Amino acid sequence: MVAFVVILALAVVAIAYVVGIYNGLVNLRENVKVAWANIDVLLKQRHDELPKLVETCKRYMQFEQETLEKVMRARASVSQASTAGDVAAVGAAEQQLRAGVGRLFAVAENYPQLKADETFKQLQNRITALEESIADRREFYNDQVNLNNIRVKVFPDVMIAQRFGFQPAQLLNFTADEKRDVDMDALFSGT
């Protein structure tokens, strides 16, 4: 009878341990999804603001169509990658978009009337704030991915992760070129 109670107690402890690991893995997987969704919300907000900025700039920047078109193409690339859930493609498209918006703001320096336009100022401030929020959310996303990836690879969690199909998530990485400071001379010269 004592042996039965001991075996039963060990079985209950083992089951509780496995359930605890499983629930922890589910929690991490869902945290990664929420962190990505938060980035996606900010990307969509910025996506909605950029056409307004481009339209405002068009009124003043008749000779800068190439800059405006690059921003809109990059915007479309970010949207496509985000919709597809392709984290790597989002990183590459984000770099193009940040460079294009930076170029747009730099070129705007040559247009005093544009710089004085209240709509332009508001949009510039809004987009700058969104960029900062996206950077913060990107960092949080990568933290969540890192926690998830560690848990699905360490023992004994790896056994449960493999059994129930938990996978590592993809970090939102940037190449060395994408991390470098912006070349302001190139930005203002249009190269």
Question: For each successive 10 residues of the chain (191 residues), what is the average pLDDT?
Answer: 90 93 94 92 88 81 75 87 83 84 84 82 88 90 94 92 92 60 44 41
| Per-position b or e across 167-176, b if 16+ CB within 10 A of its CB | eebbbbeeee
CB 71 within 8 A of CB 97: yes
Say how far apart CA 22 and CA 16 lie, in whole Å: 10
Which CATH architecture best describes the domain 2-189?
Up-down Bundle (1.20)
Q: Rounded to two decimals, what is the model's pTM? A: 0.71
Say how far apart CA 172 and CA 90 lie, in whole Å: 8
Question: How high is the pLDDT of residue 16?
Answer: 94
Say how far apart CA 80 and CA 104 lie, in whole Å: 22
Which pair of tokens denotes residue 80? 């496509």
Name residue 170's amino acid. Q
